[in-house]
């Protein structure tokens, strides 16, 4: 579990790269026992799995900074970025043309057990601005910072493509094609019938599953799927079939009326199906094509949730749905008021809970002091003062923990109820939004009734015609009078 973290720490603290350990520092832990303290923190909070730590590298331009200055800059970066939350070990290497600093910090906070989580965009928002400010402070050009992570090694699955793992399905299709193929070329054709795209390069066979973007080598699926081994298996299978056909005596198969159990096909039936398959009379369907209908499936589930909600609450009109939404708003206000009451009830015990937090934060390091490490004397002093303050307040540690847990439970229940209300409110809002969109679409599609053009002309009169008391249409009819007999 700690192998990769230990290897990383061993690498950055190498004496040949750090002037015999002079360019090595620590933050929130001791330089000599950094690994043990990080692991003790993980054990304390029960977070020994997944990501073990983070590894940052700050590189400086060639001959721009002295190792001592780089070490000082790295120390300030660690203090600003990590604060008092995470244990960290850092070192500056001067054995290359470019002086650079390595920073390794624990993925679990020693104060509260919270795991550090690097989100997309944190580099631009949080990390790089600190480096830029420090470089300006020391009169250096802007440096880049590289981000890595120390975690448990995972076995790379070469068959993993996007959200799917095709390993198992490809094995089934390959085995099925081998059982029916007459030679290697026929095997490749059978794989193409199943929906795979085939390529051959340098004696290696590559295939691409339907709907995927990358080709996979057959030998990555199994080392036994080379062209030679597949051809030998096909030849061996055909020979075995011939031998069975020679030695097999005819049998009578009795049919039953009600089939409840699966009856496997006979050897003759298998041979006939294989022949029909090879000649193209019978085609085997490829694996599931549900990936094509993913959006439709999500849309169906969304509509089903809306329908079931309306049925469950017996809602039959838009007015009833809006009334339900107003009821949810009132319920949300009641929960907010209840949460305020819990905060008011917790306020007199705020000092007791703060003392308990101080005890938990300093307990581990106080144990290091009690074991003989004078580096942690200040933490032991804080720990003892908090214990004494808790005792003076009239509480034992167990009572303080029970008190804090009761408030946390109440707040968690309120939060859970609010989350359920929010989910229901979003469902109602979705129904109303879709209905509004549907009404607007219908209004746009309905034909607009309007008067014919000549009726509009009847209501339009020019200034001169108004004086004469005639409409524009009457003027046009008078002008066209007697022109009906003109040939086209």
pLDDT digits (tens, 9 = 90+) for 202-215: 888 888 887 677 88
Q: Rounded mean pLDDT of the chain?
A: 79
For residue 382, give both structure tokens: 């804080």
Residue with tokens 């090595």: 24
Window from 59-68, 85-94, 395-404 with minimum mean pLDDT:
59-68
CATH of 3-151, one of 1.10.10, 3.30.410, 3.30.930, 3.40.50: 3.30.930
Residue 463's pLDDT band (cuts 50, 70, 90): very low
Q: Quick one: pLDDT band at residue 484, thresholds 50, 70, 90?
A: very low
Q: In the prediction, which pLDDT does 163 show?
A: 39
Sheet holding 204-208, edge to edge: 197-201, 204-208, 216-217
Orientation of helix 350-370 relative to helix 34-45, angle to 10°: 140
Lowest mean pLDDT among 95-104, 169-178, 235-244: 235-244
Average pLDDT for 124-129: 82
Contact 122, 107 (CB under 8 A): no
Task: List the one residue out of 154, 188, 152, 146 whose CA is nearest residue 42.
Answer: 152
Is the confidence at residue 308, as pLDDT, over 80?
Answer: yes
- pLDDT more than 90, % of the chain: 21
Angle at 416 (CA atoms; ends 411, 419), nearest 5 degrees: 125
For residue 193, what pLDDT is reported?
A: 81
* 457 or 63, greater pLDDT: 63
Least confident of 39-53, 156-170, 272-286, 411-425: 156-170
Name the burial class of residue 217, with classes exposed (0-12), middle (13-18) and buried (19+) by CB atoms within 10 angstroms of its CB: middle
Q: Given this model, what pLDDT does residue 476 score?
A: 46
Q: What CA–CA distance (Å, rounded) separates 41 from 34? A: 11
Extract the tokens encoding 273: 């199906």
- The residue ranking higher by pLDDT, 152 or 363, is 363
Kindly indicate the confidence band of residue 113, based on its pLDDT and cuts at 50, 70 and 90.
confident
According to the per-residue pLDDT averaged within each range, which of 126-140, 274-288, 465-479 is highest?
A: 126-140
- Kindly report the pTM of this predicted structure: 0.38
Distance (Å, whole) CA 427 – CA 430: 5
Q: What is the pLDDT of residue 271?
A: 81
Query: Longest C-alpha distance within the chain, in Å?
Result: 124
**Between residues 334 and 117, the one the model is more confident about:** 334
CA distances from 220 to 206, 225, 307 (A): 10, 9, 47
Q: Tens of pLDDT along 327-355?
A: 999 999 999 999 999 999 999 999 999 99
Tokens 């307040």 belong to residue: 393
- For residues 421 and 45, the model is more confident at 421
pLDDT above 70: percentage of residues in the chain:
78
What DSSP element (H or E) covers 254? none
Give the contacts of 391 (CB within 8 A, at least 6 positions apart): none
Per-residue pLDDT band at 117 (split at 50, 70, 90): confident
Q: Treating both helix axes as pointing N-terminal to C-terminal, what angle do 227-247 and 267-278 enclose, rounded to 10 degrees?
A: 130
Report which DSSP code applies to 307: H
Domain locations along the chain: 3-151, 160-278, 318-444
**What is the mean predicted confidence (pLDDT) over 265-293?**
72
Q: Write out pLDDT tens, residues 142-155.
A: 665 555 544 444 44
What is residue 435's predicted lDDT score, i.e. its pLDDT? 83
Phi, psi of 207 (to 5 degrees): -135, 150
Q: Which residues contact 459 (CB under 8 A, 6 or more apart)?
A: 471
């Amino acid at each position: 579990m700690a192998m990769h973290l230990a290897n990383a720490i061993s690498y950055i603290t190498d004496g040949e790269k750090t002037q015999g350990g002079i360019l090595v520092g620590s933050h929130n832990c001791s330089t000599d026992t950094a690994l043990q303290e990080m692991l003790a923190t993980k054990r304390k909070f029960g977070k020994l799995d997944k990501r073990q730590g983070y590894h940052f590298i700050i590189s400086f331009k060639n001959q721009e900074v002295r190792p001592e200055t780089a070490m000082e800059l790295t120390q300030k970066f660690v203090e600003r970025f990590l604060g008092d939350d995470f244990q960290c070990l850092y070192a500056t290497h001067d054995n290359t043309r470019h002086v650079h600093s390595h920073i390794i910090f624990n993925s679990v906070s020693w104060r509260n057990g919270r795991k550090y989580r690097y989100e997309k965009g944190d580099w631009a928002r949080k990390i790089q601005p600190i480096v830029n400010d420090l470089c300006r402070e020391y009169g250096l050009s802007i440096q880049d910072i590289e981000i890595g992570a120390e975690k448990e090694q995972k076995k790379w699955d070469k068959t993993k493509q996007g959200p799917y793992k095709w390993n198992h399905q490809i094995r089934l299709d390959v085995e099925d094609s081998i059982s029916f193929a007459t030679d290697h070329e026929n095997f490749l054709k059978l794989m193409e019938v199943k929906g795979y795209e085939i390529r051959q390069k340098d004696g290696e066979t590559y295939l691409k599953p339907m709907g995927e973007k990358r080709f996979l080598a057959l030998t990555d699926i199994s080392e036994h799927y080379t062209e030679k081994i597949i051809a030998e298996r096909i030849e061996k299978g055909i020979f075995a079939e011939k031998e069975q056909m020679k030695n097999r005596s005819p049998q009578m198969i009795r049919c039953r009326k009600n089939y409840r159990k699966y009856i496997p096909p006979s050897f003759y039936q298998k041979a006939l199906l294989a022949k029909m398959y090879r000649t193209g009379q019978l085609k085997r369907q490829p694996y599931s094509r549900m990936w094509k209908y993913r959006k439709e499936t999500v849309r169906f589930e969304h509509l089903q949730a809306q329908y079931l909600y309306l049925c469950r609450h017996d809602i039959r009109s838009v007015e009833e749905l809006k009334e339900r939404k107003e009821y949810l708003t009132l319920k949300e206000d009641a929960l907010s008021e209840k949460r305020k009451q819990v905060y008011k009830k917790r306020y007199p015990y705020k000092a007791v809970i703060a003392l308990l937090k101080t005890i938990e934060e300093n307990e581990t390091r106080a144990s290091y002091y009690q074991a003989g490490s004078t580096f942690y004397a200040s933490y032991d002093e804080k720990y003892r003062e908090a214990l004494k303050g808790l005792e003076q307040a009239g509480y034992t540690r167990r009572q303080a923990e029970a008190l804090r847990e009761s408030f946390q439970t109440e707040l968690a229940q309120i939060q859970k109820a609010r989350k359920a209300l929010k989910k229901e409110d979003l469902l109602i809002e979705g129904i109303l939004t879709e209905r509004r969109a549907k009404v607007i679409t219908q209004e746009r599609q309905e034909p607009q009734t309007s008067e014919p053009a000549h009726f509009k002309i009847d209501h339009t009169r020019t200034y001169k015609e108004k004086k004469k008391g005639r409409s524009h249409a009457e003027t046009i009819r008078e002008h066209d009078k007697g022109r009906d007999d003109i040939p086209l």
